[in-house]
Amino acid sequence: MSFAALPCLLSSLVLGQSESDPPSALEALASRLKVEGGADVYYGYNFNRPADGANFIPGTGTTGKRDNELTLNLASLGVSLEPAPVGFRVLVGLGTAMEVVHAAEPVGSATGPDVWRFLQQASLSFAHGPLTLEAGVYPSHIGLESFQSQLNWTYTRSWMGELSPYYQTGLKGTWKFSDAWSAQLHLLNGWQTIGENNRGKALGTQVAYSGDRLSAAFNTFIGEEGSGGGAGLRLFADGVASYQVTDAFSVAASADVGTQQRPEQDAAFWYAASLNARVQLAQPVAVTARAELFDDQAGLISGTAQRLVEGTVTLEVKPAEHLVLKLEARHDRSTADVFGGSQTTAEGTPVPRSTQTLVVAGATAYF
**pLDDT for 165-203, tens place per residue?**
999 999 999 999 999 999 999 999 999 999 998 889 999
pLDDT of 359 above 80:
yes
219 and 307, same domain (yes or no): yes
pTM above 0.85, yes or no: yes
pLDDT of 267 above 90:
yes
pLDDT in tens, 83-98: 999 999 999 999 999 9
123 and 12, same domain (yes or no): no
pLDDT in tens, 276-304: 999 999 999 999 999 999 999 999 999 99
The whole-number pLDDT of residue 136 equals 98
User: What is the pLDDT averaged over residues 332-356?
Assistant: 95
196 and 243, same domain (yes or no): yes
CA atoms within 13 A on the CB side of 7: 18
CATH code: domain of residue 281: 2.40.160.10
User: What is the pLDDT averaged over residues 309-336?
Assistant: 98
Mean pLDDT of the chain: 93
d(CA 160, CA 327): 21
pLDDT in tens, 23-38: 788 888 889 999 999 9
The whole-number pLDDT of residue 6 equals 45
75 and 25, same domain (yes or no): no
The whole-number pLDDT of residue 249 equals 98
Contact call for residues 312 and 156 (beta carbons, < 8 A): yes
9 and 82, same domain (yes or no): no
24 and 42, same domain (yes or no): no
76 and 200, same domain (yes or no): yes
Number of compact structural domains in the chain: 2
The whole-number pLDDT of residue 1 equals 45
User: What is the pLDDT averaged over residues 244-262?
Assistant: 97
The whole-number pLDDT of residue 23 equals 72
9 and 109, same domain (yes or no): no
pLDDT of 127 above 80:
yes
Contact call for residues 278 and 290 (beta carbons, < 8 A): no
> 11 is in which domain, residue-wise?
1-31
353 and 221, same domain (yes or no): yes
User: What is the pLDDT averaged over residues 255-268?
Assistant: 96
Query: Confidence class of residue 9 from pLDDT cuts 50, 70 and 90?
Result: very low
218 and 76, same domain (yes or no): yes
8 and 69, same domain (yes or no): no
d(CA 36, CA 120): 13
147 and 265, same domain (yes or no): yes
SS (H, E, C) the chain: CCHHHHHHHHHHHHHCCCCCCCCCHHHHHHHCEEEEEEEEEEEEEECCCCCCCECCCCCCCCCCCECCEEEEEEEEEEEEECCCCEEEEEEEEECHHHHHHCCCCCCECCECHHHHCCEEEEEEEEEECCEEEEEEEEECCCCCCCCCHHHCCCCCCCHHHHCCCCEEEEEEEEEECCCCEEEEEEEECCCCCCCCCCCCCEEEEEEEEECCCEEEEEEEEEEEECCHHHCEEEEEEEEEEEEECCCCEEEEEEEEEEEEEECCEEEEEEEEEEEEEEEEEECCEEEEEEEEEEEECCCCCCCCCEEEEEEEEEEEEEEECCEEEEEEEEEEEECCCCECCCCECCCCCECCECEEEEEEEEEEEEC
The whole-number pLDDT of residue 14 equals 42
pLDDT of 2 above 90:
no
